[in-house]
Structure 1
């Protein structure tokens, strides 16, 4: 039997009776803010931050597995639109066509969406391609690796060290899909019907080699030939980037899947702004590296910098996924964007938040003339409306 603890991102802390090992594991794994409750022995105070999803703690000393689910404040369908659009803004995701079924939790929805996309990708059969192969063989195939033959065989005729291009299904695209399917099958919380369909997809990919945990995923490039794989590959990569499996203190194990809403919102905002500003003859850089001081000891990384045709910065923006305080957004955000504007030589800067009491506010900084815009995006709306709001931010950035 598994005990389930449900939290909501950025909601007030709750006090729960938990084994000390589980509490320490959650704190060490940076899953939620966890600390012993100072007012009650044997209880832990848990507060979810920006990470949403589910993890399960198991291992020695834990009588029953403990699953912690962190629910996002935005609907699951909206979260998947943010994810899918940031991964592939030109795909079918643009119209909000994200298949998450009726699952209430993030992991079941993700597993369902991945399985459906893999099924669509493989409907016409497995993609094949050429893969560079190096091996020892008893017959010559391709070209002989002369240096390797001398180094390893010391003049022996057989076996022969050869290199050749093999036409196979064991290529990067299929390996990524197989690895994502394997990962989902190992995660607790995947519904039985979805698990059954994932087992079917694994059988279709049986001749494909999964990537061993810890190894780098193979690279793939979008082409016309692999176009039917694109959406499945993007979601598969999201699974592999967000999945976690680690050993915690006391021999415990944390296994699950987490999205960082801070990162997800930042990715969406920067990609959506880039798309809204496309075709203007300007270039965009994400996480652009600069230094605050002349000695270049204090590094700054604005989320989004727009450059003109001559390479001069012409706009800067930072995405902030955080709850608005009673007195407004944190002043530290204003100081940060002011520093960006000063270093980049800009008269205006833009802060983009998730939600807010007003869609736009502006502050002109004394003695500098710099104007700082604060924009708020309502994520709980249809994709078309959300993209239109981003378009309005882009319009202000280009001075239109």
Structure 2
């Protein structure tokens, strides 16, 4: 007889796992559903908790839920860096010194601390910030138009523009804000928490960013070169950490990643790096009245029209190496709408792909490709680069002719 799951078991979930029955309040279950990390469905004996495509951790009061990724927390952070274009950020297993099953938010916080110690060893970077001020004495540059329109010719106070030499720069705002949201995550080690608080005190002059607001732009220069990797990590942190208010006064904190979206973003970015003709998530009308639409994950337009279509699937093929009927139906529809004779399914598991599916009654042949998400960044780039070569119209036509002659 299986033991009944407890609330503490929610801290040790793995991707794709289900726990039942779990004792939760209705408010707690609603908060977990809002977080999207897991699904909480009421059943006869309690709540059925299912972890699907999201990984990470969320906390509501004393309830903590963690979902460990199948490919390991360090690898997920590598993929996030690739998808977000943080090319200066290298995630090294030996440097982070964590196990593959380590908590994703804990790995992120430790990596941030290590990068901050290196980048800010010589102290925080100051910079000039230009701002408009109203002052009793002349400082900076007088704004004559504003002086006339606002003060009607009076000489006091003065409308001026000042270049401040300050810690309150876009770079330091990003770093401090990332440190503060990391501090709100559950399960931080005392060492990591101490370093994050020290970082907050060091940059206390930098204004904290408003949650949900657009991140400030910064320009990579020679002066801030030592901060590039840390800034990439700070932006990654702020994009994926959420602080959400629920219906009650308790706040939900969490760092979570949708692995299906992450896989799609990685393939889209790496394909576009090789061939800029690729675009992601293009919405097109399906019927004449435009009441139905399609939204392929990836389409290629070389300037003469649509030349290729592909969809990413964050799932493995079945034991026989076959794809689901629904995936084939989807690509056949895309091919019919775009006037293409071939469509492509890209799965997030390594191995040998099955031969193309030639759909009876149509001109469409659906090819299957497999990308190994456990590969190193260099190997992953090489895989997608090789895939891009097979998806060009010339290679596609050759594959179809070979399939027809077989």
Q: TM-score range by the shorter chain?
A: 0.7 to 0.9
> 2:86, 2:191 → 1: CA distance?
30
Describe how 1:144-155 pairs up with structure 2 within 5 A: 144-150=142-148, 152-153=150-151, 155=153
Alpha-carbon offset, residue 112 of structure 1: 0.9
Query: SS at 2:168's partner residue?
Result: coil
Q: Any unmatched runs of 5+ in structure 1?
A: 59-64
The 5-angstrom pairing of residues 64-103 of structure 1 reads: 65-88=62-85, 90-91=87-88, 93=90, 99-102=95-98
Rounded Cα–Cα distance in structure 1 between residues aligned with 2:345 and 2:167: 46
Q: d(CA) in 2 for partners of 1:294 and 1:243?
A: 42
Larger mean CA deviation between 226-235 and 152-161 belongs to 152-161
Residue 42 (structure 2) pairs with residue 44 (structure 1): no
Q: What CA distance in whole angstroms lies between the structure 2 residues aligned with 1:177 and 1:114?
A: 9
> What TM-score do you get using the length of structure 2 for normalisation?
0.84
Contact 2:37 2:57 in 1 (8 A): no
Report the Cα offset of residue 150 of structure 1.
5.0
The answer to whether the aligner puts 1:53 opposite 2:56 as a matched pair is yes
Matched, 1:303 2:297: yes
- Aligned equivalent of 1:196: 194
Please name the residue that 1:139 is paired with: 137
Question: Could you say which structure has the greater relative contact order, defined with CA pairs below 8 angstroms and 6 or more residues apart?
Answer: 1
Residue 383 of structure 1, CA deviation = 3.9
- Structure-2 change in CA distance of 1:269 and 1:293 (3 Å): same
Question: Which deviations, in whole Å up to 9, do the C-alpha atoms of 1:319-362 show, x marking residues without a partner?
Answer: 22134456743322223223333333333222211116743542
1:32–1:47 CA contact under 8 A, matched in 2: yes
The match for 1:318 is 311
Sort the Cα spacing of 1:339 and 1:100 in 2 relative to 1 into closer, same or farther, 3 A.
Answer: farther
Q: Which 5+ residue runs of structure 2 have no aligned equivalent?
A: 1-6, 396-406
Alignment of 1:94-113 (within 5 A): 99-102=95-98, 104-113=102-111
Partner of 1:61: none
CA contact (8 A) 1:359 1:377 kept: no
Question: Structure 1: how far apart are the matches of 2:118 and 2:171?
Answer: 14
Q: What is the alpha-carbon distance in structure 2 between the residues aligned to residue 222 and residue 312 of structure 1?
A: 36
Find 1:363's aligned residue among 357, 362, 378: 357
The residue aligned with 1:270 is: 268
Aligned to 1:350: 344
Hey, what does 1:161 align to over in structure 2? Answer: 159
Partner of 2:244 in structure 1?
A: 246
Which residue is 2:383 aligned to?
Answer: 389
| 1:261 and 2:254 aligned | no
Structure 1 match to 2:26: 20
Q: How far apart, in 1, do the equivalents of 2:202 and 2:118 lie? A: 12
CA distance in 2, matches of 1:357, 1:343: 30
1:87-106, Cα deviation, whole Å (9 max, x unpaired): 2374464x967853215111
**How many Å separate the matches in 2 of 1:128 and 1:148?**
29
Deviates more, 1:118-127 or 1:231-240: 118-127
Measured in 2, the distance between the counterparts of 1:90 and 1:248 equals 36
1:364 CA drift (Å): 2.1
Q: Is contact 1:4-1:67 (8 Å) kept?
A: no
Aligned length: 384
Greater displacement, 44-53 / 298-307: 298-307
Cα RMSD (Å) of the superposition? 2.8
